[in-house]
């Protein structure tokens, strides 16, 4: 839990202080590219960055599991990939791609606000996560990934008689 309110970072929760987050950071996010040779490559890069940034994921911990929920409207489950990298330090990776709508010759676009491109989010799972029992479901454009937790074993306490 962060001591810095999320509104401090423009409404988007910053993961700078979150050891479990491996968000991709775009150092040019607020850098103004206007015209010239940089404008064409920037527009394509910006749409990919927007797709990553707009993939919002909630992570909650219940007594039984860690639950991740991602809003992925318009995507089919075949277009989303959920992986757990055990060797890389128990990392949950959620990725996919939103395709651009095909442009017809006679179409005239007035506004393009929906993001397209690849997205990738990575989360370092805690030690109590059962990475071999991860489940994922997709319903109404919401991906839910459930990572069960190992039960915390209570230490056996043995009463010792005091002699004397």
Rg (CA), the chain: 22
pTM above 0.75, yes or no: no
Nearest to 134 by CA among 94, 88, 96, 79: 94
CB 73 within 8 A of CB 66: no
Q: What is the chain's pLDDT, residue by residue, as a tens digit (164 residues)?
A: 445 454 444 444 445 555 555 555 556 555 555 444 444 444 444 555 555 456 889 999 999 999 999 999 888 899 999 999 988 788 999 999 888 777 788 888 888 777 778 889 999 999 899 999 999 999 999 999 999 999 877 788 888 889 87
Q: Decide: helix, strand or coil at residue 39.
A: helix
What is the distance between the alpha carbons of residues 1 and 133, in angstroms, rounded to a whole number? 26
């Amino acid at each position: 839990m962060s001591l810095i309110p999320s509104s401090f970072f423009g409404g988007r929760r910053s993961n700078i202080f979150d050891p479990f987050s491996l968000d991709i950071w775009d150092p040019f996010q607020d850098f103004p590219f206007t015209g010239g040779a940089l404008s064409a490559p920037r527009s394509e890069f910006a749409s990919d960055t927007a797709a990553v940034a707009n993939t919002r994921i909630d992570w909650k911990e219940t007594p039984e599991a860690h639950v991740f929920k991602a809003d992925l409207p318009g995507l089919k489950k075949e277009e989303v990939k959920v992986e757990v990298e055990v060797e890389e330090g128990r990392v949950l990776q959620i990725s996919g791609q939103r395709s651009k709508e095909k442009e017809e010759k006679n179409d005239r676009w007035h506004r393009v606000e929906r993001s397209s491109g690849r997205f990738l989010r990575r989360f370092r799972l805690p030690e109590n996560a059962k990475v071999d029992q991860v489940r994922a479901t997709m319903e109404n454009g919401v991906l839910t990934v459930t990572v069960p937790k190992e039960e915390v074993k209570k230490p056996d306490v043995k009463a010792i008689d005091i002699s004397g």
